[in-house]
Chain A
Amino acid sequence: MDATVVYNIPHQQGLQVFIAIYFYLTGLSAGSFVISVVAYLLGKTEYKPLGKIGAFLAPILLVIAPILLITDLGKPMRFFYLFFNVNPTSPLTWGTFLLTIYPISCLIYLYYVLKGNQKMIKTFGIIGIPLAISVHGYTGFVLALAKFSPIWNNSLMPLLWLISAMVSGIGLVIFVAIVMEKVFSVSLAKFAGEMSTETSTGKMLAETAASSTGVMPLNEMLGGVGKYLAGFIIFDLFLVFSEILVLLTESEEAAALAASLLTGDYSFLFLGLEILLGALIPLFLLLHPRTSRSLAAQTVAAVLVLIGVMTMRYIVIIGGQSVPFN
């Protein structure tokens, strides 16, 4: 027999919208850093301009992100307590130290990228990759260890968070590259090389970089990166699919949440924005032979995945609290 609730108190949200935006920004930062290092380390000189863009984006985003975290606190002035009253079992404590070390390592990396010192780029790239993965991975654990909502409290969350970070990171780097070249008419080949010519060590590299990027037009280069982006989108879609499928059978509350995403209040955001606009359309644009090398299509795809991943963060954080748990 069904029981009708006639009185209950409203509860406060577990995580608020600032946290969703914060997760988005760390994801963007980690994603662009990984792309930057991959572009430099794989020795693919034609991708160097993207590597440099990523190296700039990573620390900038990571400076904005903690400001959101601090303003979200009930007691913002007490944020520094995090460094003195340490609780090793709390993912927020891990985050405190990661958020301190990672931007520093990003800045050192950026410094050597500007210097064109290939050896140090490699060293700090290799140090930075696990840090970048941890700095975004810990936010996945923040969710996975929180028992407020069944959509958070599952072991898929950290991986889903990381893969979507890669999607948004690549999207942002592509978008910035197009804006720089087309809107601000910066020659990306020169951009990749200009700083490094100032130092004698980087001179040779810069010249090879400039010459090889010179022969590769922007849309060709982005078409190549777009293939990786498409791969990550497919992986991301698979994880979201698994998540929803399991939610549907996990518990009554989880099923109610899944229903809210599929047919309820969040179905427009989830199916319309996140899945269709944020993943399927970009996937088509990036893979179809007629659009994959068109700059216009690449711009649209990059903007759409950026919107899609932000929507996904919003749906998981805010939509994840759209049914009563108590």
Chain B
Amino acid sequence: MSKGEVRYGMVIDLRRCVGCHACSVACKSENDVPLGVFRSWVKQVEKGSYPNVRKHFLPSLCNHCEKPICVRNCPTTASYRREDGVVLIDYDKCIGCGYCIASCPYQVRFINPLRGTAEKCTFCQHRIDNGVVPSCVNTCNGRARVFGDLNDPNSEIAKLIATQPVQVLKADSGTEPRVYYINPDAGAMKGGYGPDSKVHLERGRNWSLSTTEKGRE
């Protein structure tokens, strides 16, 4: 199958997610994500009252949207979408204006405090280009994360989407996300923070590192 016909996506099957945060950890270590910022994280909500209590999880990452508003709004064309649907950032072109952070409806982007440029999940492009699944998929002990080619009818992901009811986050955002969820909880899909956290943080900045290339490139 030629490259142009491949369309990568991910299914997160929440019937299988145990909320262990292993994907967040694997992503951090695989991609050297600095302290305080995350390419992938697992939101947790609690419902009910004792003894009928239940926790629900929502692992989040960039949705590698079909119509990525981040790419549309990036003034330097540093954000781009590959033919196979992977949305990436060229760290050599990015000026760190942060407008993509303001544009994305999913808040999956951040300015890397060491490098000064925007960053987010890359679908582990360095791994998938070499035929291995992304790190978070590889590490998931419940096999809740399934990565693959949405256009290949024989792939596990295409079969899951064909046979299971799936959802995307904020479907009304108009960006056509390509990360699908099976069995997500409505309360987890809404905006919300734990009791003690600040709402939106100022971007950390390390001036000496941000203007030179000492950060990890």
Contact of A2 among B47, B111, B173, B211 (CB under 8 A): B47
Kindly specify which of B2-10, B132-140, B155-163, B194-202 makes contact with the partner chain: B194-202
Contact of A3 among B42, B102, B188, B197 (CB under 8 A): B188
In this assembly, does A119 line the interface, its C-beta being within 8 Å of a C-beta of chain B?
A: no
Q: Which residue of B lies closest to A94 (CB)?
A: B75
Check A7–B44 contact: CB distance below 8 A.
yes
Kindly specify which of A58-66, A69-77, A187-195, A230-238 makes contact with the partner chain: A69-77
Q: Which residue of B lies closest to A96 (CB)?
A: B75
Residues 108 to 126 of chain B near chain A (Cβ within 8 Å) = 109-112, 115-118
Check B93–A323 contact: CB distance below 8 A.
no
Q: Contacts A5-B44, A12-B202, A145-B103; is A324 near B191 (CB within 8 Å)?
A: yes
Residue numbers in B under 8 Å from A184 (CB-CB): none
Contact of A90 among B44, B74, B93, B107 (CB under 8 A): B74
Report the Cα distance A149→B90, complex, angstroms: 26
Q: Which residue of A lies closest to B111 (CB)?
A: A74
Report the Cα distance A16→B197, complex, angstroms: 19
Residue numbers in B under 8 Å from A145 (CB-CB): 69, 73, 103
In this assembly, does A78 line the interface, its C-beta being within 8 Å of a C-beta of chain B?
A: yes
Residues 6 to 22 of chain A near chain B (Cβ within 8 Å) = 6-16
Mask, B26-57, CB within 8 Å of A = 1, is 00000000000110011111111000000110
In this assembly, does A249 line the interface, its C-beta being within 8 Å of a C-beta of chain B?
A: no
Residue numbers in B under 8 Å from A147 (CB-CB): 69, 103-105, 173, 175
Residues 34 to 92 of chain A near chain B (Cβ within 8 Å) = 72-79, 81-82, 85-87, 89-92
Contact of A148 among B55, B101, B116, B190 (CB under 8 A): B101
In this assembly, does A252 line the interface, its C-beta being within 8 Å of a C-beta of chain B?
A: yes
Q: Which residue of A lies closest to B41 (CB)?
A: A9
Check B211–A76 contact: CB distance below 8 A.
yes
Check B199–A1 contact: CB distance below 8 A.
no
Check A14–B73 contact: CB distance below 8 A.
no
In this assembly, does B20 line the interface, its C-beta being within 8 Å of a C-beta of chain A?
A: no
Check A14–B101 contact: CB distance below 8 A.
yes
Q: Contacts A2-B47, A10-B198; is A146 near B190 (CB within 8 Å)?
A: no
Check A16–B203 contact: CB distance below 8 A.
yes
Residue numbers in B under 8 Å from A86 (CB-CB): 75, 77
Report the Cα distance A156→B173, complex, angstroms: 18
Residue numbers in B under 8 Å from A105 (CB-CB): none
Check B116–A75 contact: CB distance below 8 A.
yes
Q: Contacts A3-B185, A252-B190; is A15 near B38 (CB within 8 Å)?
A: no
Q: Which residue of B lies closest to A5 (CB)?
A: B192
Report the Cα distance A273→B141, complex, angstroms: 54
Report the Cα distance A99→B197, complex, angstroms: 38
Check A12–B76 contact: CB distance below 8 A.
no
Residue numbers in A under 8 Å from B55 (CB-CB): 6
Report the Cα distance A321→B198, complex, angstroms: 11
Interface size on A, residues (CB 8 A): 51
Shortest C-beta distance, A212 to chain B (Å), equals: 47
Report the Cα distance A4→B98, complex, angstroms: 30
Check A92–B97 contact: CB distance below 8 A.
yes
Check A10–B77 contact: CB distance below 8 A.
no
Residue numbers in A under 8 Å from B44 (CB-CB): 5-8
In this assembly, does B142 line the interface, its C-beta being within 8 Å of a C-beta of chain A?
A: no
Contact of A12 among B60, B111, B211 (CB under 8 A): B111
In this assembly, does B72 line the interface, its C-beta being within 8 Å of a C-beta of chain A?
A: yes
Q: Contacts A10-B199, A148-B105; is A3 near B117 (CB within 8 Å)?
A: no
In this assembly, does A325 line the interface, its C-beta being within 8 Å of a C-beta of chain B?
A: yes
Check A73–B76 contact: CB distance below 8 A.
no
Check B75–A78 contact: CB distance below 8 A.
no
Check A87–B199 contact: CB distance below 8 A.
no
Q: Contacts A3-B46, A74-B111, A252-B190; is A10 near B103 (CB within 8 Å)?
A: no
Residue numbers in B under 8 Å from A7 (CB-CB): 42-44, 194
Shortest C-beta distance, A9 to chain B (Å), equals: 5
Shortest C-beta distance, A201 to chain B (Å), equals: 43
Check B93–A81 contact: CB distance below 8 A.
yes
Report the Cα distance A197→B78, complex, angstroms: 53
Q: List chain B positions with a Cβ less than 8 A from chain A.
A: 37-38, 41-48, 55-56, 60, 69, 72-78, 93-99, 101-107, 109-112, 115-118, 173, 175, 185-188, 190-194, 197-203, 205, 210-211
**8 tightest A-B CB contacts, nearest first:** A74-B96, A3-B187, A14-B102, A92-B75, A74-B116, A5-B192, A147-B105, A3-B45
5 A/B residue pairs, CB under 8 Å, sorted by A: A2-B47, A9-B43, A10-B197, A76-B211, A95-B75
